[in-house]
Amino acid sequence: MKKPLIKQKLTITVDAELVPAAKRYARARGVSLSSLIEQSLRELAGEGAPSFSARWRGKFRAAERKDDPRYAALAKKYLQ
């Protein structure tokens, strides 16, 4: 079960020329500026990013090693 989201107000200071452009960018994507900033912070903090193993899963093929029982055991455990 997910815990309920509790929002907290945050005051930031940015270049005055950036604000209108950021608002246009958010509006063009159909989101609020707050949502845009929140998503950017989540990405920077690594939330929602796939784990190392998830990024690499399925990227490798098993090597051909028919006569190596240790390799066969490891391949069975990790590659299937």
Q: Domain range spanning residue 32?
A: 16-51
In this structure, is residue 30 part of a structural domain?
Answer: yes
In this structure, is residue 73 part of a structural domain?
Answer: no
- Domain count across the chain: 1
pLDDT value at residue 34: 94
In this structure, is residue 45 part of a structural domain?
Answer: yes
The whole-angstrom separation of Cα 24 and Cα 77 is 51
pLDDT value at residue 35: 93
Per-residue pLDDT of the chain (80 residues; tens, 9 = 90+): 677 889 999 999 999 999 999 999 999 999 999 999 998 888 888 776 777 888 888 887 777 887 889 988 888 888 76
Please answer whether residues 74 and 62 qualify as being in contact, where contact means their C-beta atoms are separated by less than 8 angstroms.
no
Q: Which residues contact 29 (CB under 8 A, 6 or more apart)?
A: 36
The whole-angstrom separation of Cα 6 and Cα 29 is 24
Cα 10 from chain centroid? 23
In this structure, is residue 79 part of a structural domain?
Answer: no
In this structure, is residue 29 part of a structural domain?
Answer: yes
In this structure, is residue 23 part of a structural domain?
Answer: yes
Model pTM score: 0.53
pLDDT value at residue 33: 95
Please answer whether residues 54 and 60 qualify as being in contact, where contact means their C-beta atoms are separated by less than 8 angstroms.
no
